Structure 1
Amino acid sequence: MDCTSHKLYHIHDFDSRDILDTYFSDKSEMVFGEETLKFPMEKFHNIFSAGHIKGEVLFDISFGSFIHHLYSTCGFFKQISVLRFNEKCIMELNKWLHRRTGAFVWDHASTYIKEMEGKSDQCQDKEIMLKMAIKQIVKCDIEKENLTDSVVLPQADCVISAWLLDVLSKDQDDYLRNLKKLTRLLKPRGHLILLGCLNATYFTAGQDRFHILKYDENYLRKVLTGEGFIIDHCDILRRKAVSDLADYEAIVFITAYKEK
């Protein structure tokens, strides 16, 4: 489908809190919990607890203002920088980070990570650890070759990008261009972790539909290997949610390292 029939995440206005309520909350009507909450948290927990991905610096450059996927990272990286393209998402993240009134409550995600780790007495400590590890929230510009422009950042040992390339990229060529920009943030042999939707065309925010780039697993593997990445893990969860708010067929979680 032509992306011009839908709004674009980084250009058009949308309610960042509505995104959290619709796709990441614990509300009874939120039907995406298995795919947007539990699956990502399980995959990140498994990958990082294995001990193969760790280092000094991690960048999270993702869609929206969710943080639940980062709970498993803070014990393996000393410095986490959160990079976002949308000003409202940055405001929402700062509310949570600085414990401001009206911040989104992630208790349901904290409970789930507690269950996975079997550490019922460390639920609150995990969130405190994550907040301490996040050193800065940086505004990005996808139109620039250097995404952070005037902000000088060190190269990262790991870059996480959840659903961002899907919503930013107008077509597959654009996906490749945006991927190249992300990979410039990585050290040699640094790890890239992507979370995305397969064969999707839109998601709903408020009353509007927003563009998602349609691609399949073969395309994702091809574009990563073409950029010199070695894929070391890929897992796919077929859609279970019944809703017309988004039309993806599956969620993909893939890790790869930069060969040179």
Structure 2
Amino acid sequence: MAQTQDWVPLGIDTSVPSMARVYDYILGGAHNFAADRQVGSQIEKLVPGLPSVARLNRRFLGRAVNFLMDQGVRQFLDIGSGIPTVANVHEVAQERDPAARIVYVDKDPVAVAHSELMLSNNENAAIVHADMRDPESVLSSPEVRRLLRFDEPIGMLMLLMLHWVPDEDSPEKLVARYRDALPAGSFVVMTHVAKDQIDESVDKAADVVNRSKSADRMHMRTHGQVAALFDGFELVEPGLVGCGEWRPDGPGDFADEASMNMFLYAGVGRKA
């Protein structure tokens, strides 16, 4: 118990699952609680290929960050960054340019605590404890003001995030509020659960999440609905496609089960 307490922030109700910690569990991480593992294991039983989807999302992150680096982007805003795992944005970007600047954003206290620990000696990266649905708090945070220059292109990542925003909260308007703050030449990188590419087992998995104590609720969307989230951005080739189909570099960018490659839509858009 003492070992667990060393990394649990004060005030955390460990009986309430967090999707950030469920994702950590699915990726094989160790920073999750019994409630998170219960939800995660139920989901995995319904969708056995889910760990491969999580890995595909991380592989896409690396390809997208490298693509943005190729376009000259040297600063990143990763919204909903989650609990640190392998190949985080700052690791990918700073391997190519140590001066690259990264701001992470997450609302989960465990994700924030571990990000702070990981970034403690990295003066070019920081974490903001905030909800993505409050863009003003994110954009006016000391970390953003210190590290991001709004007269240079910014790479904004929203991976596996917008399907947690219900229609009544207007995800299109939410993305637009961030988009309007970005300078010309900036990019948005997005993945989203694909409603029109999944079977009833995924609907059942979503029900598991939505019936849990977690405040997070999953809202899957069709290709057209996800494409609408890129309003004001020009999609770069190959457009909005299955996560495994976005500029793959090799076999590791694909799942063995074909349906898992289409589980998530992935795209990169550029602000003119």
The answer, yes or no, to whether TM exceeds 0.5 is: yes
Equivalence for 2:27: 24
Matched with 2:175 is 179
- Asked if structure 2 preserves the Cα contact closer than 8 Å seen for 1:231 and 1:254, the reply is yes
Distance 1:140 1:221, change over 3 A: same
Partner residue of 2:220? Answer: 214
**1:188 equivalenced with 2:184 (yes/no):** yes
- In 2 relative to 1, CA 206–88 (structure 1 residues): closer, same or farther, beyond 3 Å? farther
The total of aligned residue pairs comes to 207
Question: What's the RMSD between the two structures over aligned residues?
Answer: 3.8
Does residue 65 of structure 1 match 2:83? yes
Note if 1:40 corresponds to 2:57.
Answer: yes
Structure 1 residue aligned with 2:103: 81
Please name the residue that 2:263 is paired with. Answer: 250
Instruction: Say which of 232, 236, 239 aligns to 1:232.
Output: 236
Question: Structure 1 residues 52, 21: CA separation in 2 closer, same or farther (over 3 Å shift)?
Answer: closer
Residue-by-residue CA offset, 1:12-70 (whole Å, 9 max, x unaligned): 9534774244321179x875332111x23333343444553332311111253244352
> Is 2:110 aligned against 1:94?
no
1: CA distance between counterparts of 2:53 and 2:83? 17
Greater percentage in strand = 1
8 Å CA contact 2:154–2:183 kept in 1: the answer is: yes
Q: Is the Cα contact below 8 Å between 2:21 and 2:83 reproduced in 1?
A: no
Aligned to 1:139: 129
Task: Tell me, in whole angstroms, the C-alpha distance in 2 between the residues paired with 1:191 and 1:44.
Answer: 13
Instruction: List per-residue Cα deviations over 1:83-121 (Å, max 9, x = no partner).
Output: 1223332123234445xxxxxxxxxxxxxxxxxxxxxxx
Specify the SS of the correspondent of 2:234: strand
- Could you tell me which runs of 5 or more consecutive residues in structure 1 were left unpaired when the two chains were aligned: 1-11, 99-130, 243-248
1:158 maps to 155
Distance 1:53 1:185, change over 3 A: farther
* Residue identity in the other structure for 1:179: V
Distance 1:80 1:181 in 2: 20
2:35 is aligned to none
> 1:72 is paired with a residue of what secondary structure?
helix
Give the residue type in structure 2 aligned to 1:91: A
Amino acid at match of 2:61: F
Superposed displacement of residue 254, structure 1: 0.6
Q: Could you tell me the TM-score, scaled by structure 2's length? A: 0.61
CA offsets, 1:126-147, max 9 Å, x none? Answer: xxxxx73752111224454513
What does the per-residue CA deviation read over 1:239-260, in whole Å, with 9 as the maximum and x for residues that have no partner? Answer: 9799xxxxxx71122100012x
Provide TM-score, normalisation by structure 1.
0.63
User: Structure 1 pair 257/89, CA: closer, same or farther in 2 (3 Å)?
Assistant: same
Task: Please tell me the residue identity of whatever aligns with 2:182.
Answer: L
- Residue 73 of structure 2 corresponds to residue 55 of structure 1: yes
CA contact (8 A) 2:188 2:269 kept: yes
Q: Which has the higher helix share?
A: 2
Counterpart CA distance in 2 for 1:21 and 1:173 is: 26
Closer/same/farther in 2, CA of residues 19 and 93 from structure 1, 3 Å limit:
farther
**8 Å CA contact 2:163, 2:193 repeated in 1:** yes
Number of the residue aligned with 2:247: none
How far apart in 1 are the matches of 2:125 and 2:226?
A: 31
Report the alpha carbon displacement of residue 181 of structure 1 after superposing the two structures with TM. 2.7
Quick one: which amino acid aligns to residue 271 of structure 2?
K
Partner secondary structure for residue 44 of structure 1: helix
